[in-house]
Amino acid sequence: MVAPWNGRPLWWLQLISLATLATLVGRSGSWQRAGLLGWAFATAWLTATFWWLFISMHRYGGLAAPLAAVAVLGLAAFLALYYAAAMAAFGAVTRPGATVRALLFAALWLLAELLRVTWFTGFPWGAGGYAHVDGPLSALAPWVGVHGIGFIAAVLAYGLALLLHPATLRSWRYWVALGSCVALLAACNLAAAPHPAASARPSLSVALLQGNIPQDEKFQGGTGIPLALDWYGRQLRDSTASLVVAPETAIPLLPQQLPNGYFEALRARFAQGRQAALIGIPLGSLRDGYTNSAIGLKPGADVYRYDKHHLVPFGEFIPPLFRWFTDMMNIPLGDFNRGRIGQPSFEWQGQRLAPNICYEDLFGEELGAHFTDPATAPTILVNISNIGWFGDTVAVDQHLQISRMRTLEFDRPMIRATNTGATVIIDHRGQVTYALPRYTRGVLAGEVEGQTTITPYAWWISRMGLAPLWLLALAIAAAALWRQRGRPHP
């Protein structure tokens, strides 16, 4: 959960809200009512989380306001069905004791979160674990990742709900469990002590470009396109940083649509000297298909290319049977081809830079594909985005917290170049060290230090993906069901 007044994550509010759900479901009296409560809770939570999708569909996509509102509510209500099923299952299991029920509540919550990550290409925006990026559970990120944090938070929330039962306060088992949780957090915080200096590489000077091109003009031939070509072209030409990064679709045309000599001049600019650039640009053709891409330019090398893999439904690709819906909106370049997972990093001055575009950094399991071999693992993560689709809303803050969580999970800094914000440099501890004011046109200059350590999370997520979390949740659910059947009826 992110506070709407300052965009900061509120870990304590996430625990309280989840404890409230656990209390209501525990007192529901039937699995049907428990499922309905879970659905209502998740629908309200998710609607409040990504209400800003309304702006992209109505203001910039041209969809009528009532239809856009119904679409946002419909998406939230559909995703809430995962949580409805989870709470219905929890309401149906009545016999195990408090410890097993706490684990079961957390396991079913985790299953719902994992379903939201994977089904129908996944849309895990606002997962519960992100609320803890500044909380005590953040020390667990390098070990279990955001969804593991969400599982542990759900256990703690259920424990918090038990405080409303007087018998709980008299139970020594409860206090032993509470003490164990505190000891675990203390151990993880100790394990998160600063790494030795040997894990860091020489710093890299970077210039991150933020064009602040109005979204409703960005793809217009008489306004946004000339402005983007001129401003980004001048910044790329004049920068003195070792690495210059321009955001997603900073160059808003396919290379063959650019003015004569424009693309060639960019290549010539970085073909010699001691500077390199990563630039967001669509590649391909309208006839054969195109990709949302980044190109890398540096002396003595061919053009590097990264193609976005995880596309946004309705904005970047059209799901089957939904072309009628996307035809109602005016979204340019709205049907991209996919890149592959695990594309090579862009190597420059001893650093391995792994690009990801827009909301790809929500999917830590996909970024983890880069970390199988420590010799080729990225030393710096690079996100290029355009959140201008969603106006000056909390979406900017939410995406920043998502990026910060990735830096904690992988022990890697991340540099973010965006059209409107948040253009920042985040160190490997998840702290923003440099930031550009949002909704301004400017260049963020700073230093970033790459890292080479491999966290436990990076190790297992790169080899097994989300399978360990699935197995954990399913094993707990199966054990609870076994206990349910094995105990005699009262």
* Active-site amino acid positions: 248, 308, 358
Q: Which two tokens stand for residue 182?
A: 């505190």
88 vs 245: CA distance, rounded Å: 48
β partners of residue 210:
442
**Encoded amino acid at 308, one letter:** K
β partners of residue 243:
206, 276
Q: φ, ψ for residue 472 (rounded to 5)?
A: -60, -50
- CA 420 vs. chain centroid, Å, equals 18
Q: Give the residue from 450, 422, 446 showing the smallest Cα distance to 241.
A: 446
293 vs 307: CA distance, rounded Å: 4
Q: Report DSSP state, residue 389.
A: G
* Triad 264, 270, 276: Cα angle to 5°: 135
* Triad 80, 83, 87: Cα angle to 5°: 140
Q: Report DSSP state, residue 452.
A: -
Q: How large is the angle between the packed helices 11-26 and 65-92, nearest 10 degrees?
A: 60
68 vs 303: CA distance, rounded Å: 40
DSSP 314-342: TTTB--TT-HHHHTTS--SS--PBP--TT
Q: How many angstroms separate the first and last alpha carbons of the chain?
A: 40
User: CA separation (Å) from 206 to 19, 69, 240, 358, 433?
Assistant: 44, 40, 9, 19, 13
**Considering just the CA atoms, what is the radius of gyration of the chain in Å?**
24
Q: Report DSSP state, residue 3.
A: -
Helix (H, G, I), strand (E, B) or coil at 243: strand
CB 452 within 8 A of CB 374: yes
Laid out side by side, the sheet with 346-348 consists of 346-348, 351-357, 380-385, 414-418, 424-426, 432-435
Neighbouring CB atoms inside 10 A of 258's CB total 18
